[in-house]
Amino acid sequence: MKKAILWILAGLMTFGFSLKANASARLDGLAADVREVEDMDLIWLYPNKVLQYKNTVDFKLADNANAFSNVNNEWGGVIASETDLGVIGVYVNRPVVMPSAWAPLTSSAYGWFNQTSLSWNAVGAGPFFFYPTDGNRSLDIFWADHLGSMDMGLHFTYGDGFAIFQASPVGGDAEDFGVGLGLGFTNLAGFSELNFHGDFQWQNITATSFISGNPTAHDAGIFTIKLGALGQADVTKDAFIRPFADLQIDSYDAGQLTAFFKESRSNWGLATGTSFNQKINGINGFVSTGLTLDYYEAKFTDFFFTGDYNESRYLIVWNASVESEVFKWLTIRAGLAANVFARVYNSDASLNTTWVDPTNNRVNFNTGFTLNWADFSLDCKVATLSLENAVQNPDLGGGIFYPSVNGNTGILMTDTVDMKFKF
């Protein structure tokens, strides 16, 4: 069996990788939001969760999906063993902006449409014209411990990057700082598990003003605040619901960077939803379905283009997922996400429209698998087009790793891969 797994790994590494990393290869394969199913990436919202994922080395392999094309391609970290001081985790090189499994549902013009639930965003929600071009030189430090009946976690983050303002080739220094608090309870208020989190992150930018030429111009405030709650309530011993809500407040003011021209934005977003999860009797697996509402309200002050205007965005997503262990060394998963309702309302009359539908793909289907060998696990999201191509162009005897004369590029082409090691 071990030899078989080694051959599978060798085949993947030789013939099957076209990599990118979203937030989680497992979540991508399930087409699920991180709060709908239990997943390691919950540590980025609820740092108290590192207690559940101690003794883990976590690698994210490649990042071709990142919005900034020249960032580094790999990132990851280690969550150590529990000691008298608690559990400590360290990650390096985490990207500033990361799309989620639901990002393909909306058009590229609204790539940051999913402010709260669907994507990771730059501080201040990705300002229009000021962005880090080397945005993932970062350090994340976690600490968590059991405090009586409560779990408590802290998350400290720092990022350093070079930034370009407007169309000017002259740039400057951008630094991000952040702190997050997570609290976890069991058997509280009717929930078998109840978590709360709060985060504050701010950015400092010093650059040459695009307007005045001042070489030490500074922003007038860029920050993001997040508050949220996630619960799990058991319906039966094998079924439970996971309601959640998250509030995000963002502010960006260019200050001296634009001299006497005002350039700012302020916005808030609310994501709320729930999922229903049913464990599959007799095997290690589950089925899940969820519904999420994402609302976003923004006010822009923009001298250069359209002046002041307001914008409101709504997105309702339904999704369903299934995951099943078919062998001790192989778990298979699939998921489907669909836009139930999507609208962007804009008060700017020059756009000649009051609203648009930002839908790019009404439905997004994903699938993936996990390979387990000893203490290693390899989570992969299968490229949907390669799977469809393999089904449409059968080539009996051609194998699943190798291209064929029939145009079959191989059923195991993957576009998101994570590797973990438990110690």
pLDDT at 49 over 80: yes
Whether residue 104 has pLDDT greater than 60: yes
- Note the pLDDT of residue 292: 93
The reported pLDDT for the residue numbered 10 is 39
Q: What is the pLDDT of residue 117?
A: 44
Task: Give the closest residue to 418 by CA, choosing from 376, 364, 384.
Answer: 376
Residue with the two structure tokens 């509030």: 247
- What is the third-level CATH fold of 17-365? Porin (2.40.160)
Contact 322, 287 (CB under 8 A): yes
Residue 134 has pLDDT above 80, yes or no: no
Q: Is the per-residue pLDDT at 326 higher than 90?
A: yes
- Which H or E run includes 389? helix 384-392
- Picking from 214, 216, 197, 198, the residue whose alpha carbon sits closest to that of residue 206 is 216
Q: 316 near 342, Cβ under 8 Å?
A: yes
What pTM does this model have? 0.85
- Beta-bridged to residue 365, according to DSSP, are 336
What phi and psi values does residue 250 have, to the nearest 5 degrees? Answer: -125, 145
Burial of 423 (0-12, 13-18, 19+ CB in 10 A): exposed
Q: Which of 234, 181, 193 has its CA nearest to residue 45?
A: 181
- How far apart (Å, rounded) are the C-alpha atoms in residues 406 and 358? 37
Greater confidence (110 vs 383) lies with 383
CB burial readout 272-309, b (16+ within 10 A) else e: bbbbbbbeeeeeebbebbbebbbbbbbebbbeeeeeeb
Q: Token digits for 161?
A: 């990057």
pLDDT of residue 163: 61
Interval 191-237: pLDDT, tens: 999 999 999 998 887 776 555 566 677 777 888 899 999 999 999 99
Give me the percent of the chain exceeding a pLDDT of 70: 69
Which residues, 6 or more positions from 191, have their beta carbon under 8 angstroms from its beta carbon?
Answer: 185, 231, 232, 233
At residue 96, the pLDDT reads 67
pLDDT digits (tens, 9 = 90+) for 145-171: 999 999 999 999 998 766 655 444 456
pLDDT of 62-95, one tens digit each?
Answer: 544 444 444 456 789 999 999 999 999 999 988 7
Q: What is the pLDDT of residue 52?
A: 96
- When pLDDT is cut at 50, 70 and 90, the band that residue 56 belongs to is very high
